[in-house]
């Protein structure tokens, strides 16, 4: 009984820490929560991903509502991303089902893909300025048709990554949107990315739920910690240098990725 109570507190504290990280940086939900569930609490990778996806859908719904109220969501971008991400999420869930979600092969695959996604996310956080400079110097501004196609393609890539690992909607999504829509304010791109994460994580999470990969009791306990965590992180964000936060997050994600593959 005492052990179970300690686990409950551990879940809530994890939600608090991850919520604060998301509030501070705008990223880190899937990147941190899924590895914590796997490495700290011993949750099977597929179940950790499924639970985290619906957890993310709930938390990002609140964030999306807030951004929408402040008119910092570009709904045309949300629609373009969803055009690629939602079908890709459904296809990814079908592939996981075909592999046999309860088998060791699927769990090993999810762990490997998660590690790769964490490395990519860490690189996007750490080298965002260099990526933007390289893109501006070698690609420049795209025409409307290519921007549309690349946005849909970005959505498809995020749909696969998020459905398989719950990672990618934050740092990767925002970085690509900055490249594709340099004329838009950063706040509007962040708001659009968060709004897009809602249908993506909801569809992917629903798929995992149908496959039996969601622990709703665990999800509720995580949300009890994450909601105040997001409020705390959002309040502290203006007082903490963004460069420090980005580097710290990148280091943590890289270390977690290494631990997953060892």
pLDDT, one tens digit per residue, over 86-99 is 999 999 999 878 87
Q: What angle do CA 181, 184, 185 make, to 5 degrees?
A: 135
In the 8-state DSSP scheme, what is residue 74? -
Q: Report pLDDT for 204.
A: 93
Q: For residue 1, is pLDDT > 50?
A: no
Of 9, 48, 10, 44, residue with least CA distance to 32: 48
pLDDT at 84: 96
Residue count (the chain)? 262
CB 168 within 8 A of CB 117: yes
The answer, yes or no, to whether residue 155 has pLDDT greater than 50, is yes
Is the pLDDT at 192 greater than 80, yes or no?
yes
CB 59 within 8 A of CB 18: no
**How many whole angstroms separate alpha carbon 38 and alpha carbon 34?**
6
The whole-number average pLDDT for the span 158-180 is: 82
CB neighbourhood size of 72 (10 A): 19
Is residue 24 within 8 A of residue 226, CB to CB? The reply is no
Q: What is the mean pLDDT of residues 55-61?
A: 84
């Amino acid at each position: 009984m005492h052990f179970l109570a300690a686990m409950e507190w551990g879940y809530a504290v994890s939600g608090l820490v991850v919520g604060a990280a998301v509030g501070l940086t705008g990223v880190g939900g899937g990147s941190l929560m899924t590895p914590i569930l796997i490495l700290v609490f011993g949750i099977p990778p597929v179940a950790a991903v499924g639970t985290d996806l619906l957890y993310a859908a709930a938390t990002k719904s609140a964030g999306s509502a807030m951004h929408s109220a402040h008119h910092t969501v570009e709904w045309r971008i949300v629609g373009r991303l969803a055009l690629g991400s939602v079908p890709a999420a459904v296809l990814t869930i079908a592939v996981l089902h075909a592999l046999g979600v309860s088998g060791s092969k699927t769990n090993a695959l999810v762990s490997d893909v998660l590690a790769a996604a964490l490395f990519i996310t860490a690189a996007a956080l750490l080298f965002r300025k260099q990526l933007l400079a390289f893109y501006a110097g070698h690609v420049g501004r795209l025409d409307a048709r290519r921007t549309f196609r690349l946005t849909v393609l970005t959505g498809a890539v995020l749909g696969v990554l998020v459905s398989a690992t719950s990672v990618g909607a934050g740092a990767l999504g925002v970085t690509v949107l900055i490249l594709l829509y340099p004329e838009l304010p950063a706040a509007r791109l962040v708001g659009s990315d968060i709004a897009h994460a809602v249908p993506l994580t909801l569809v992917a999470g629903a798929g995992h739920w149908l496959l039996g990969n969601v622990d709703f009791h665990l999800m509720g306990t995580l949300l009890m910690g994450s909601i105040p965590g997001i409020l705390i992180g959002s309040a502290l964000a203006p007082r903490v240098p963004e460069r420090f936060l980005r580097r710290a997050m990148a280091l943590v994600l890289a270390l977690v990725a290494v631990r997953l593959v060892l």
